[in-house]
Structure 1
Amino acid sequence: MTELEKGPLGLRSGRGARERILGASQQLFPDQGINCTGVDQLCAVAGVSKRTLYQHFAGKDELVAEYLRRFDPDVLPEVFDRTDLAPRERLLAVFDIHSPLCPFIGAAVEIQDAGHPARIFARDYKKAFATRLAETAREAGANDPEWLGEQLALLLDGASARSRVLNADTFTVAAAIAVVLIDNAIPIAVLPTPPIASGLSPK
Structure 2
Amino acid sequence: MTELEKGPTGRRRGRGARERILGASQQLFREQGINRTGMDQLCAAAEVSKRTAYQHFGGKDELVAEYLRQFDPSVLPGVFDRTDLTPRERLLAAFDIPADTPLCPYIAAAVELHDPQHPASRYARDYKKAVATRLADTARVAGAADPEQLGEQLALLIDGAAARTRVLDADAFPTAAAIAAVLIDNAIPAAGSDRRPVTGDVEG
Matching residue of 2:197: none
Q: Aligned partners of 2:82, 2:151: CA distance in 1, in Å? A: 18
Q: Aligned partners of 2:2, 2:181: CA distance in 1, in Å? A: 54
Q: Aligned partners of 1:82, 1:25: CA distance in 2, in Å? A: 30
Distance change (3 Å), C-alpha of 1:12 and 1:178:
farther
Matching residue of 1:142: 144
Distance change (3 Å), C-alpha of 1:181 and 1:189:
closer
Of the two, which has the highest radius of gyration? 1
AA in 2 matched with 1:17: A
Distance change (3 Å), C-alpha of 1:182 and 1:2:
farther
AA in 2 matched with 1:74: S
Mapping of 1:101-140 within 5 angstroms? Answer: 101-140=103-142
Q: Aligned partners of 1:35, 1:24: CA distance in 2, in Å? A: 15
Unaligned 5+ residue runs, structure 1?
192-203
Q: 1:78: Cα distance to partner?
A: 1.1
> Which of 182, 185, 201 is matched with 2:184 structurally?
182
Q: 1:100: Cα distance to partner?
A: 3.1
Q: Aligned partners of 2:7, 2:92: CA distance in 1, in Å? A: 51
Mapping of 1:131-170 within 5 angstroms? Answer: 131-170=133-172
Give the stretch that moved more between structures: 91-100 or 122-131.
91-100
Q: Aligned partners of 1:155, 1:189: CA distance in 2, in Å? A: 21
Q: Aligned partners of 1:129, 1:169: CA distance in 2, in Å? A: 21
Matching residue of 1:84: 84
Aligned-residue RMSD, C-alpha: 1.7
1:101-147 residue CA offsets vs partner (Å, 9 max, x unmatched): 11100000001111100000000001111000000000100110000
Give the stretch that moved more between structures: 93-102 or 58-67.
93-102
1:157-190 residue CA offsets vs partner (Å, 9 max, x unmatched): 0011111111121111111111111111101257
Q: Aligned partners of 1:121, 1:151: CA distance in 2, in Å? A: 21
TM-score (norm 2): 0.88
Q: Percent identity?
A: 75
Distance change (3 Å), C-alpha of 1:35 and 1:186:
same
Report the count of equivalent residues.
190
- Answer yes or no: is the 8 Å Cα contact 1:100–1:163 preserved in 2: no
AA in 2 matched with 1:40: D
Give the stretch that moved more between structures: 166-175 or 93-102.
93-102
Q: Aligned partners of 1:151, 1:6: CA distance in 2, in Å? A: 50
Unaligned 5+ residue runs, structure 2?
194-204
TM-score (norm 1): 0.89
1:61-92 residue CA offsets vs partner (Å, 9 max, x unmatched): 00000000000001011110111110000000
AA in 2 matched with 1:123: R
Q: Aligned partners of 2:192, 2:32: CA distance in 1, in Å? A: 53
AA in 1 matched with 2:179: I
**What secondary structure sits across from 1:96 in the alignment?**
coil
Q: Aligned partners of 2:22, 2:121: CA distance in 1, in Å? A: 18
Matching residue of 1:39: 39
AA in 2 matched with 1:163: T
